[in-house]
Amino acid sequence: MATTAPAAAELAALLLRHTPGDGVHATAIPRLSLIRAARPGEPLVLLHQPALCVIAQGSKRVHLADEVYLYDASRFLVVSVDLPVTGQVVAASPAAPYLCLRLDLDPAELAQMLLQLGPPPPVAQPPARGLYLSHMTPAMLDAVLRLARLLDAPEDIPVLAPLAVRELSYRLLKTDEGWRLRQIAAGDGQARRIARAIDWLKQHYAEPLKIDEFARELRMSPSSLHHHFKAVTAMSPLQYQKQLRLQEARRLMFSEALDAASAAFRVGYESASQFSREYSRLFGDPPARDLRRLRENGGLVRPA
């Protein structure tokens, strides 16, 4: 990492300047946000949208189902499809706060770039996990830094930011793990069908899930759907739907002041007791206690 140390230090200093306090900070660059935390945090459950996350300082642990991903400035995180995850900042202090840059990915933009890059070598790859870590390279860090530097030159953002984002997308696709993004962004293979399945579940999470009909709509067999869905998300379609329901119920209780039974019914549960059990298992506390803790801690957040 000796060759990237000066650039990494510059990125940390830049993010520190543009994050006046803890939390998630939107920037003038579309789809780019900065995150800062002065101390390790509690585990936070969220639906992580497709994004590139680059840590400039500190470290973080991300859980996807039973899998654990620990990363810092030496590796970056890519999420290629919407995934229910639990994230926790594990290394941070007031003197050296956790600093992260997050760029939300646009699948349409990636697909357009793939058209220009042309078809990859014909290597058969089964659908792969929609979340992965990759080692930071000098070229990748340089592209990240070029984008971040525009925060110091806001007059250049309208013209240069799209070019910098485009370069960063190109670097992502050219990494050793870039084929994972290719699977999701283009073509009509199994991975692309799973991406469509995820989109459908996000829109219809409160409806009963009939696997046979669901698979038929995707032009897959039920066994193939289950196998490939788990390959991408580390969970079954029913487990994924449950996470969506619980997260939406939590939002409804916090943002719209619904009681637990009403929120459970709204997201598709028929049993309030089952809802409470599964809610406690995911969030660590029953609904009422969890909501009290959320309000004491400032509410729902969107970490990276």
We report the CATH number of the domain holding residue 233 as 1.10.10.60
Overall domain count for the chain: 2
Indicate whether 208 and 87 sit together in one domain: no
233 pLDDT above the threshold of 70? yes
CA distances from 269 to 3, 207, 272 (A): 54, 9, 7
Q: 111-166: per-residue pLDDT in tens?
A: 888 888 876 655 556 778 999 999 999 999 999 999 999 999 999 999 999 999 99
Indicate whether 15 and 114 sit together in one domain: yes
Of 184, 215, 247, the residue at which a domain comes to its end is: 184
Indicate whether 33 and 178 sit together in one domain: yes
220 pLDDT above the threshold of 50? yes
Of 184, 202, 228, the residue at which a domain comes to its end is: 184
Residue ranges making up the domain that contains 270 = 188-304
Average pLDDT over residues 7-13: 94
Indicate whether 249 and 193 sit together in one domain: yes
Q: Would you state the pLDDT for residue 2?
A: 44
Q: 57-111: per-residue pLDDT in tens?
A: 999 999 999 999 999 999 999 999 999 999 999 999 999 999 999 999 998 888 8
Of 160, 184, 208, the residue at which a domain comes to its end is: 184
Q: Would you state the pLDDT for residue 1?
A: 42
What's 80's domain CATH number?
2.60.120.10
Average pLDDT over residues 179-194: 80
Indicate whether 168 and 49 sit together in one domain: yes
50 pLDDT above the threshold of 90? yes
Q: What is the DSSP string of the chain?
A: -GGGHHHHHHHHHHHHHT--SSEEEE-SSTTEEEEEESS----EEEEEPSEEEEEEESEEEEEETTEEEEE-TTEEEEE-S-EEEEEEEEE--SSS-EEEEEEE--HHHHHHHHHHH-PPP--------SEEEEE--HHHHHHHHHHHHGGG-GGGHHHHHHHHHHHHHHHHHHSTTHHHHHHHHSSSSHHHHHHHHHHHHHHHTTS---HHHHHHHTT--HHHHHHHHHHHHSS-HHHHHHHHHHHHHHHHHHHS---HHHHHHHTT-S-HHHHHHHHHHHHSS-HHHHHHHHHHTTS-----
Q: Would you state the pLDDT for residue 266?
A: 96
